[in-house]
Amino acid sequence: MTEDPNPDPGWYFNLRTHQVEHHDRARAADLLGPYPDEETARRALEIAAERTRRADAEDEKWDDD
């Protein structure tokens, strides 16, 4: 296999292994990302939970209007 001349620069969090991945990645269904750097990718579950809380609050506000 030839090396990709335009590799994805993103960082990913693997939901199955709970590892951060960069160039060699698992299948897309197991990944969260891309994130701009390794540290942000390590916080993927925390970021996802915060986004969910925010979306739930917006939905609740929309339902009340």
Whole-number pLDDT of residue 60 = 87
In this predicted structure, the answer to whether residue 9 has a pLDDT above a threshold of 90 is: no
Compute the average pLDDT of residues 5-22.
90
* pTM for the full predicted model: 0.76
| Under 8 Å between Cβ of 32 and 44 | yes
Whole-number pLDDT of residue 25 = 86
Sorted by sequence, the CB contacts under 8 Å of residue 11 that are 6+ apart come out as 20, 21, 22, 33, 34, 35, 36, 37, 38, 40, 41
Whole-number pLDDT of residue 2 = 61
| Under 8 Å between Cβ of 38 and 11 | yes
In this predicted structure, the answer to whether residue 62 has a pLDDT above a threshold of 70 is: yes
**Coil, helix or strand for 33?**
strand
Compute the average pLDDT of residues 49-53.
97
